[in-house]
Amino acid sequence: MTQTRAKSRQQAETAFSNEQSQFFARGHAVKEKDAVVQARKTKTIRLGEARLARKALDTQEASAGLTKKRAGKT
């Protein structure tokens, strides 16, 4: 009888261990995914700021070019 109980307990502990491992593996996967999403957001913001800065510089250079051109005509 005790052997049956010990075997049942061992099977239950093994099953629990497997479930627990899967649970922690899911948590780890979620953390990895969150890190990837955060990195993507950060990069998108950085690239957007760089694009806006480049556009502002292009606009400023175009303005300066027009001013020089107009100054040369008079």
For residue 24, the Cα-to-chain-centroid distance in whole angstroms is: 20
The Cα–Cα gap between 31 and 49 comes to 27
**74 vs 42, residue with greater confidence:** 42
In this prediction the pTM is: 0.56
The Cα–Cα gap between 31 and 35 comes to 6
- pLDDT single digits (tens) 30-48: 999 999 999 999 999 999 9
Report the pLDDT value the prediction gives residue 55, as an integer from 0 to 100: 97
Report the pLDDT value the prediction gives residue 3, as an integer from 0 to 100: 74
**What integer is the mean pLDDT of 2-9?**
82
- pLDDT single digits (tens) 63-73: 887 777 677 66
The Cα–Cα gap between 27 and 34 comes to 11
DSSP H or E stretch at residue 65:
helix 2-73
Q: What's at 45, amino acid-wise?
A: I
